[in-house]
Chain A
Amino acid sequence: MEQDINIKITDRDGIIHEVVAPTDMAMNLMEVVRSYELAPEGTIGICGGMAMCASCQCYVLSDHELPEMQDDEDAMLAEAFNVKENSRLGCQIQMTPGMEGLEVQLAPES
């Protein structure tokens, strides 16, 4: 289906998963990770996707143009651990056709 995109997610054990994500269901990256159960329940998206827990922190490996970081996300990453230059919160990255080929790695649980 043309609304679906292909993305690569490296889980916390270093395993790369090639998954298909819909772009017509208002899903964000954290929700895609949860729907494919790529991280144990209770370790990702704890706050429900409000940029308030950093449990969905990921490192963006590809050079896709991502939505600009808003204050909430920036503030959360200022407090989080294991933060790198390419850190983003999965809950703040909506799945859109422009994300085709996106490659991310889940940050360690903290």
Chain B
Amino acid sequence: MIKTDILIIGAGPTGLFTVFEAGLLKLKCHLIDALPQAGGQCSELYPKKPIYDIPGFPEILAGDLTKNLLEQSKQFEPGFTLGERAETIEKQEDGSFIVTTNKGTKHQAPVVAIAGGLGSFEPRKPLISNIASFEDNGVEYFIKDPEVYRDKRVVISGGGDSALDWSIFLADIASEVTLIHRRNEFRGALDSVEKVQELKSKGKINLITPAEVINVIGHGKVEGVVVAQSQHIEKEFIVETDHFIPLFGLSPKLGPIANWGLEIEKNAIKVNNALDYQTNIPGIFAIGDVNTYPGKLKLILCGFHEATLMCQAAYQIINPGKKFVLKYTTVSGIDGFDGTRKESPKAVVKAIK
């Protein structure tokens, strides 16, 4: 069981900044994120896009902002459970919460801060009516262990970098790789496109374009896919395969949080913004893009503000009755949990004789 003061769900900018603000109050944080790395949307969707409305940064790349936030939070030694989605929450008799991920990792904390942004990123699934019945029986949306595909027949669909990269990688592992894309052109990195072309010429990748997988066939597990040529939808044929891997990117969904008994409005979690961004369940807060209240603006800087106020309220829950005096870091400096201390240099006072 992982125990902490504030359990943060979501390791995007708001979640990461919460670590810093909580750290100033001597509160430890642990973050859970469905993505395998911290940074949320900023690092997953647009790391190379400049952001212009972060105070003090006339322009900063989303990826660099994430990097800086990680660096800023490091002194407060946050824990991370990455690549796992927060699945269930249970209130304990002592008022704390136990949050369990989809992989069974348990976390306990007196305060839970949902900083889930737009939700957890889930694979965008193709519009194939029977695909759900084959999930984990030959249909996979992520490649976790390439060895699973050794000497197997694999069909990959998609036209982006993931589809190209995995087709190239599996060409040396699988007995047969078929790449199916709706268009003749691929929009991935140039060297990946050229490599696929080369492997096709060598007969190591079967390329079918422009075409789409419109059905999956098999008894209990995938035995083949039905392919339709995009320009002649009536022209269908079957490609026999052991695995079908659709790679169409990720799409954010609120996910299991929606079933936690929280008040939801417009696909976001309702909070008390007049006080502290607490949800309808005492001890559970929602900050950043995942929350809603009258006048809400989904901006990173608003998430930072919400995180700051939320930490003050968390402090009172964790230290009931204890007085907290707001201090400025310019005056009090920062005492990191790692033993470091940062403070402004002392002014040199010179006496006038």
- A residues sitting closer than 8 Å to B (CB atoms) are 40-43, 46-47, 50, 52-53, 55, 71, 74-75, 78-83, 110
Contact B267 A41 (CB under 8 A): yes
A79 touches B46 (CB 8 A): no
| 3 shortest interchain CB distances as A-B pairs | A42-B267, A41-B266, A75-B187
Contacts A75-B187, A79-B158, A79-B159 given; indicate if A46 touches B248 (C-beta within 8 A).
Answer: no
* Cβ-closest chain A residue relative to B159: A78
Contact A52 B182 (CB under 8 A): no
Q: List 16 A-B contacts (CB under 8 A).
A: A40-B267, A41-B267, A42-B118, A42-B266, A43-B267, A46-B118, A46-B251, A47-B41, A52-B46, A53-B45, A55-B251, A75-B159, A78-B185, A79-B160, A83-B182, A110-B127
8 A Cβ contacts from B252-295 to A: 252, 254, 266-268, 292
CA–CA, A47 and B45, complex, Å = 8
**CA distance in complex: A53, B122 (Å):** 12
Most chain-B Cβ atoms within 10 A of its Cβ — which of A40, A41, A78?
A78
Count of B residues near A, CB < 8 Å? 25
Closest to B62 in A: A50
Q: Let me know if A52 and B45 touch, CB within 8 A.
A: yes
Report B-chain residues with C-beta under 8 Å of the C-beta of A52: 45-46
Q: Which residues of B contact A110 (CB under 8 A)?
A: 124, 127
Interface residues of B in 34-62 (CB under 8 A from A): 41, 45-46, 49
Task: Map CB proximity to A onto B225-252 as digits: 1 under 8 Å, 0 otherwise.
Answer: 0000000000000000000000011011
> Bound state CA distance, A41 and B46, in angstroms?
21
Contact of B182 among A43, A71, A78 (CB under 8 A): A78
Closest B residue to A110 by CB, please name it: B127
Report how far A74 CA is from B251 CA in the complex, Å. 18
Whether B118 lies near A79 (C-beta < 8 A) is no
CA–CA, A80 to B185, complex, Å? 15
Tell me whether A46 and B267 are in contact in the complex, defined as CB-CB below 8 angstroms, given that A79-B160, A82-B127 are known contacts: no
Chain B residues near A41 (CB, 8 Å)? Answer: 266-268, 292
* Contact (Cβ within 8 A) A74 B267: no
Q: Is the CB of A81 within 8 A of B160?
A: no
Tell me the bound Cα distance from A23 to B250 in angstroms: 33
Q: Are A79 and B268 neighbours in the complex by a CB distance under 8 Å?
A: no
> B244: shortest Cβ distance to chain A, in Å?
16
Question: Is the beta-carbon distance between B268 and A42 smaller than 8 angstroms?
Answer: yes
Contacts of B159 in A (CB 8 A): 75, 78-79
B127 & A79 in contact (Cβ 8 Å cutoff): no
Bound-complex Cα distance A82 to B125 (A): 12
Q: Of A46, A74, A79, which one neighbours B252 at CB under 8 angstroms?
A: A46
In B115-141, the 8 Å CB interface with A consists of: 118, 124, 126-127
B49: chain A residues at CB < 8 Å are: 50
Q: Say how far A2's CB is from chain B's closest CB, in angstroms.
A: 30
Question: Looking at the complex, which one of B127, B187, B266 makes contact with A78 (CB distance below 8 Å)?
Answer: B187
Complex: A59 Cα to B23 Cα, angstroms = 49
Tell me if B183 is interfacial: C-beta within 8 Å of chain A: yes
B179 to chain A: closest CB distance in Å? 13
B251, A71: Cβ atoms under 8 Å? no
A74 to B, closest residue via Cβ = B187
* Most A Cβ at <10 Å: residue of B41, B254, B292: B41
From the candidates B45, B251, B252, name the one contacting A50 in the complex (CB within 8 A). Answer: B45
Known: A41-B292, A78-B187. 9 other contacts (CB 8 A): A40-B267, A42-B118, A42-B268, A53-B251, A78-B159, A78-B185, A79-B160, A80-B248, A81-B126
Given the complex of chains A and B, what is the CA–CA distance between A36 and B266 in angstroms? 14
Whether B118 contacts A81 by the Cβ 8 Å rule is no
Query: Smallest CB-CB separation from A75: which chain B residue?
Result: B187
Closest Cβ–Cβ distance, residue A6 to chain B (whole Å): 27
Neighbouring A residues of B268 by C-beta, 8 Å: 41-42
Q: A75 vs B49: C-alpha distance in the bound complex, in angstroms?
A: 17
The contact string, 1 if C-beta is below 8 Å from chain A, for chain B 291-305, is 010000000000000
Residues of B within 8 A of A71 (CB): 187
B255 to chain A, nearest CB (A): 12
- Measured CA separation A10–B320 after assembly (Å): 54
